[in-house]
């Protein structure tokens, strides 16, 4: 009998469901919410309402695309946190209700663990996955961390941001430039046509392996403020160079700490995960860094960089194999460490 896991992800503004059978992905359905664009960021109340509307059709579509009947499911994995409480509550409640109806266990998944384990989502048995231990640079809108991964359930944070995350730096600077939300993809697109050495922005000097992006953000804002006073059209005229210089600075900050972690641990395999790992510049920089230092690098498919249920399902699959189930009185949580 196959081990079939349904994964549910509802931590922020994407409702997603995925089906995995014996570790192989059969389907991964995502319903995005465009309602937040006009507000320049995610509105929690609107997000939770949209999850309520989307979760039944999304789960239904995932099961149909996988060719799986609900009675074939062995367990339901769901994102318990961190994330927006209202959004998490929708996914958590649905998972509990469906598991009770089917009389199968539920498995809670840490959202950040899911991003790290996205590299183990296989679409065929021949797909390559990392060997333990490896270092994962986890970069998203709310998190920037370097994680030492010893096994699927043994992860240690070696360094993390003490203020803004890399994704926040992209989005906040993009907003000042007049770009739509989310700003990261627009910065990525513009940066491909700009000069990354045109502008110089402040880089932090934080000891150890921790990150900081607030100084970069402030430096960027002050540069724009001063230049716009002299030339109101400065941003429009220099859009591509600003984007390229901002992206290059963020990449330098990320790789500087990752390089220190590699040298301190001696680990020869690195990976990236999270929404910012979809950035073309970040992906290219990781590949080039690994080639220079003779390391093995894992770059996720872009479909598995943003919030998705495939990563939840694979994390739940490993916990199911070890019979690590979640009690029904478990509540979602907004914040947690690894």
Instruction: Convert the pLDDT of each residue in 218-247 to its tens digit.
Output: 999 999 999 999 999 999 999 999 999 999
Average pLDDT over residues 254-282: 97
pLDDT higher than threshold 70 for residue 208: yes
Tell which residue, 12, 17, 13, has the closest CA to residue 312.
17
Q: Which residue has the higher pLDDT, 309 or 35?
A: 309
Residue 34 has pLDDT above 90, yes or no: no
> Would you state the structure tokens that stand for residue 103, as one six-digit string?
């009389």
Residue the block writes with tokens 């231990």: 133
Q: What is the pTM of this model?
A: 0.92
Q: What percent of the chain has pLDDT over 70?
A: 96
Nearest partner of 15 among 90, 102, 113, 75, judged by Cα: 90
pLDDT higher than threshold 90 for residue 182: no
Distances (CA, A) of 234 to 4, 172, 231: 55, 18, 5
* Model confidence pLDDT, tens digit, residues 104-147: 999 999 999 999 999 999 999 999 999 999 999 999 878 899 99
Helix ranges restricted to H, the chain:
44-66, 85-102, 111-117, 166-176, 184-191, 214-230, 234-237, 239-265, 280-292, 309-321
pLDDT of amino acid 38: 61
For the segment 49-88, what is each residue's pLDDT rounded down to a tens digit? 888 999 999 999 999 999 999 999 999 999 999 999 999 9
What's the number of CA atoms in the CB half-sphere (13 Å) around residue 109?
38
Residue 316 has pLDDT above 90, yes or no: yes
188 closest CA partner among 277, 264, 104: 277
Q: Residue 27 CB: number of other CB atoms within 10 A?
A: 22
337 pLDDT more than 60: no
> What's the pLDDT score for residue 32?
75
Residue 196 in this model has a pLDDT that exceeds 90: yes
């Amino acid at each position: 009998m196959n081990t079939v896991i349904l994964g549910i992800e509802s931590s922020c503004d994407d409702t997603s469901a995925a089906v995995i059978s014996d570790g192989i992905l059969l389907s991964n359905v995502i319903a995005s919410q465009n309602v937040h664009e006009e507000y320049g960021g995610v509105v929690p109340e609107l997000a939770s309402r949209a999850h309520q509307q989307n979760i039944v059709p999304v789960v239904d579509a995932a099961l149909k695309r996988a060719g799986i009947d609900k009675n074939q499911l062995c367990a339901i994995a769901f994102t318990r946190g961190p994330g927006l409480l209202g959004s998490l509550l929708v996914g958590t409640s649905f998972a509990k209700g469906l598991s009770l109806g089917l009389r199968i266990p539920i498995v809670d998944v840490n959202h950040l663990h899911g991003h790290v384990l996205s590299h183990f989502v296989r679409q065929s048995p021949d797909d390559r996955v990392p060997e333990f231990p490896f270092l994962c640079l986890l970069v998203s809108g709310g998190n920037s961390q370097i994680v030492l991964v010893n096994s699927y359930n043994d992860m240690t944070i070696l360094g993390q941001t003490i203020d803004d995350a890399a994704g926040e730096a992209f989005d906040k600077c993009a907003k000042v430039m007049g770009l739509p939300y989310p700003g990261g993809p627009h910065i990525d697109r513009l940066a491909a046509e700009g000069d990354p050495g045109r502008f110089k922005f402040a880089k932090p000097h934080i000891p150890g392996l921790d990150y900081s992006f607030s100084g970069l953000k402030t430096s960027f804002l002050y540069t724009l403020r001063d230049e716009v006073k002299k030339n109101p059209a400065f941003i429009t005229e220099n859009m591509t160079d600003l984007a390229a210089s901002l992206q290059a600075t963020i990449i330098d900050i990320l790789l500087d700490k990752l390089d220190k972690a590699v040298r301190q641990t001696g680990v020869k395999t690195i990976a990236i995960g999270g929404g910012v790992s979809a950035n073309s510049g970040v992906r290219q920089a990781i590949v080039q860094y690994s080639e220079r230092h003779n390391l093995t690098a894992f770059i996720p498919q872009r479909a598995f960089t943003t919030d998705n249920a495939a990563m939840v399902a694979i994390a739940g699959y490993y916990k199911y194999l070890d019979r690590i189930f979640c009690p029904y009185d478990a509540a979602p949580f907004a914040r947690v460490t690894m």
